[in-house]
Homo-oligomer: A and B are copies of this chain.
Amino acid sequence: MQIEVPREFERLGAVRIYGLQKVYELDAGPAMTEPGRDDAIVRSLPAEAIYEVQREMAIVVPVRSERLKLIEGVLVGIPNPCLVIVVSNSPREPIDRHFLEQDSIADFCRFSRKQIMVVHQKDPVVAAAFAAGGYGDVLDDLGLVRDGKAEGMMIGTVLAKMLGKRYVGFVDSDNYFPGAVNEYVREYAAGFLLNGGKDTVVRISWHSKPKIVEQSLFFAKWGRSSRRCNRALNQLLSHYTGFETEIVKTGNAGEHAISLDLAMSMRYATGYSVEPYHYIDLLEQYGGVFPTEHGDMRRLVRICQIESRNPHLHADKGDAHVAEMIIGSLATIYHSRLCPASLQKKIDTELRQGGYLKDGETLPPVRIYPSLAGLAMDRFAASAQEIVERRLGAPPLARPMVS
């Protein structure tokens, strides 16, 4: 991959948010005999270096009632060196959709001789492992893991940690283009390579999103939700730095990857708020605004934003989904202790004008889970061993799994 180094960044305490980086070549080929120039504006990252990072990376694919053809395409796109963890919350009744998923993934594993871990969000073994690890926050009244994409991502993150991985990345399961998935995972590796891999978040800004406008395709740059979410995050930053900024382009980025140690120390918001809340959590914890409470200011946290070259064409989830995302993402900002009254007022007005808040309603707070640092990994692992052993596909050919 050839990728430009970021041209700018905004800093708040120990958090650095880098400007959007452009990609110049999806595949830079193998290493050249002459070493790449470190001072170059565009860095060439050879395939070997990319693979080395990917070998330490788990890719989590959250699934919920997705078409099997799309899931298979996503699996085809994930580079081989990555460990794949599918976390499904598809219904098991009246039709056992999860059974169909397992069957289809097992088929893919048979042909590709690949191992894939498939786990159901409502599996009692998963819930028992969280309980054993002393992290009951994620469980509902029935004692099972709560519904929600964030909760599935947390399962994937903990399993990746248990299996000794160093990075965890996420890709949505409704992508029509395997080649786009392949690009995202390369970009995750590129982001870690450029930033040393420690305490780094890599977030993808889609090149564009094709929409049908008057019987032809229009390649929209910003979605209705991400436009609002990015603006509010930038206003929050500006409030503290005193400089107006447009640095944040990936407030809603579903496609992102995190250094696993950092991921284990972050708090998570439920549902669609999970992605923008990464910004809020990192700014609250490492932004240095409340110096007495938290703030290991020596832990430099880097948020790296990369613009993908492929457009993003995914299954259409409809307008209700967009409204939920808008409300969920702005709520994380509104309810942050960092949010000044002036920005709260702006967000409130915006939501009322857009019809997302009715008269008399107030923006409900979002459920926040405490950091996974509170989870006793050894006890979780002892309980979850069964899930790891249940993974689909033949034993790996030569590359033993880290455990």
Interface residues of A (CB under 8 A from B): 2, 4, 23-30, 32-34, 36, 40-42, 44, 47-48, 51, 54, 73, 76-77, 79-81, 108, 111-114, 176-180, 182-183, 210, 212, 215-217, 219, 309-311, 313, 316, 397-399
Contact = CB atoms under 8 A, between A and B. Distances in A.
A176 B32 contact: no
A286 to B, nearest CB: 33
Contacts of A176: 210, 219, 311
Nearest to A219: B176
Indicate how many identical chains form the complex: 2
Given A180-B179, A309-B179, A310-B177, A216 B212 contact: yes
Contact of A179 (B25, B32, B42, B310): B310
A307 to B, nearest CB: 11
A297 to B, nearest CB: 36
A399 B313 CA distance: 36
Contacts of A47: 30, 47, 51
Q: Which 7 A-B pairs have the closest CB atoms?
A: A179-B179, A29-B80, A34-B398, A32-B398, A24-B112, A27-B79, A29-B81
A26 B179 contact: yes
A339 B122 CA distance: 62
A177 B177 contact: yes
Contact of A54 (B25, B29, B112, B179): B29
A323 B217 CA distance: 22
